[in-house]
Amino acid sequence: MSDVNEEVTRAQLRHGLRIATLLVAAATVFGLGLSNLLRYLDVHESPLTQLAAFAALGAVLAGEAALLVRGRSWGRLRGPAIAVVLAASALSYVTLPDGRTSTGVDWIFGAANWAGLVVLLDRPLRSAVLFLLAHDLTALLHLVLLDEPSRGDLARFATGSVSVIGFPLCVAVVATVLRGLSAAAAASREEIERVRVAEAVAAESHRRRRQRFAELSVTTVPLLEGLADGSLRPENSVVQRRCAIEAARMRRLFAEADTVADPLLHELRHCIDVADRKGVVVELDARGQWPTPPVAVRRDLTEAVLIVLATAASRARVTVVGGADLVSVSVVADCGEVDVPSPATPGVRVEALNNDDTVWMEAQWQPIPQRTS
């Protein structure tokens, strides 16, 4: 909730800055600019041209007011709006009397800069700088090319340029700082959220791993203790089979933490790897596409496979067939009679058939269909 409040506050600050800039621009254009225009209107070579330039600036400010009311930015209209402001500036200087640049007669010198700034306020700082330089350069070209400026004229122009460029530039800098703070705050918030999610995932994975280790210790620890105290002999076939089963369970446990496209096949391959290491030739065949089973379901589906593979003498075949409504994992191997594991999760069913030295075992899972509202 605090992040939302901070974002709302920053949005209000940006909106308030746009309003304040528009008010300054309107006061400059419709106040001082219009006053000087009307006072010296008869001095201009073409009063209608000056009025047209003033109307262009007024239209840009009216457009900014309309966008503020609707809560929108200039978007694709930003370029044409800046072109209108620069065109109005050039049009005014074309009909400005000689020797009047940056004087009271030159009303647009201190007006067009603010009109352009309201359009570029939400753009990078370099955009505002380029516009202000272009506007100031237009006035300088009129002074240098059409007039014969004296040192006093150049000094007056330089002094005027300080306020014409400096004041709007300060506002543009403030807008840039606000945008930078907003972007930095958003990036920090995203990073904090990412770290929180990563920590939560790591904590949950660690909890599940500890739980799984605790489950394995029920069967693994007695086996290790028996091997350590000599009560269990490594050359005994039953002990070897138990070791193979526990090794496959451990490999499966480690595989559960991996991020892969198909966790079921990934964990089956780790179970098969234990059989490969003891010389059993195992074939794996997968057909169809199926939803990713939960971890507990995958353990039930792979438990039947690893028990049979741990008992297989020389060969085995593992088949995975699935679809949206059924996932089947079966194994055929040359081994003696094995115990059929009892599934721990609902929806999983295990069947087995024995024929002399061949065992077939299948584990099936039926996903619960998702209800659509």
Structure confidence by residue, pLDDT tens digits, 146-187: 667 778 778 888 888 888 888 888 888 888 887 777 777 777
Q: Is residue 106's pLDDT more than 90?
A: no
In which residue are the tokens 């006072």 written? 39
Strands annotated E in the chain: 281-288, 315-322, 327-334, 348-355, 358-365
Residue 256: pLDDT band by 50, 70, 90 thresholds?
confident
Q: Is residue 317's pLDDT more than 90?
A: yes
Domains and CATH numbers, the chain: 2-192 (no CATH), 233-365 (3.30.565.10)
**What is the C-alpha separation between 108 and 90, in angstroms, rounded?**
10
Residue 86: pLDDT band by 50, 70, 90 thresholds?
very high
Which amino acid type is present at position 70? R
Residue 192 has which token pair? 């904090």
Q: Is residue 125's pLDDT more than 90?
A: no
Q: What is the mean pLDDT of residues 6-13?
A: 68
Q: Is residue 234's pLDDT more than 90?
A: no
Q: What is the mean pLDDT of residues 68-80?
A: 89
Q: In 3D, which of 353, 347, 349 has the Cα closest to residue 331?
A: 353
Residues 6+ apart with CB under 8 A from 105: 36, 40, 43, 44, 96, 97
End-to-end CA, the chain: 29
- Give the mean pLDDT of the chain: 85
- Please compute Rg for the chain using Cα positions: 40
Give the pLDDT of residue 187: 76
Residue 372: pLDDT band by 50, 70, 90 thresholds?
very low
Give the pLDDT of residue 75: 86
Give the pLDDT of residue 102: 77
Q: Per residue in 325-343, pLDDT tens?
A: 899 999 999 987 788 888 8
Give the pLDDT of residue 45: 81
